[in-house]
Amino acid sequence: MARPDKAAAVAELAEQFRSSNAAVLTEYRGLTVAQLKTLRRSLGENAQYAVVKNTLTKIAANEAGISTLDDLFNGPTAVAFVTGDPVESAKGLRDFAKDNPNLIIKGGVLDGKALSADEIKKLADLESREVLLSKLAGAFKGKQSQAASLFQALPSKFVRTAEALRVKLEEQGGAE
């Protein structure tokens, strides 16, 4: 029978997997405690970085319905549980890994879909959710302005055409 402390650890990890938008597995071999502290700060306030035991975490991930990470649980493993914007945390991991080659991004999961290390790096290259939403809003506003100009141009063009026709008819009527 499982020890109560291990069962509690598995339950806590499973809950973290369920409540997170994303989870990124890393290998932290060779990093100092100070570097890990810096890494935790660089992930942002919507992420929690935890050094985990592979066996317990694998069991917890399977309990949470995530079986795609099983191959990544080898060597010293830490998990970044992301509850907010996954792009911000992915950028934090990528930037920290550039400065500290001992941090290796193994892979992860985003909304139930498995991500490779390369896909996490591509996710880090995206702009934040707020920036993307503001760009989308700007594009919609631009299209609305174009539509308003077009709708306004039709009546004014009609008025100019009618006025030109009236002037032409007056000139023809005056010439006779």
pTM (two decimals): 0.66
CA angle 32, 33, 37 (to 5 degrees): 120
The pLDDT value given to residue 152: 78
Tell me if 102 sits within 8 A of 76, measured CB to CB. no
Give the neighbor-by-neighbor strand order of the sheet with 77-82: 47-52, 77-82, 22-27, 104-110, 113-116
Tell me if 46 sits within 8 A of 85, measured CB to CB. yes
The pLDDT value given to residue 1: 40
* Structure tokens that stand for 139 in this block: 């594009």
Q: Which residues pair with 80 in a beta bridge?
A: 24, 49
The pLDDT value given to residue 174: 59
Residue numbers in the chain where pLDDT is lower than 70: 1-2, 128-129, 174-176
The pLDDT value given to residue 65: 84
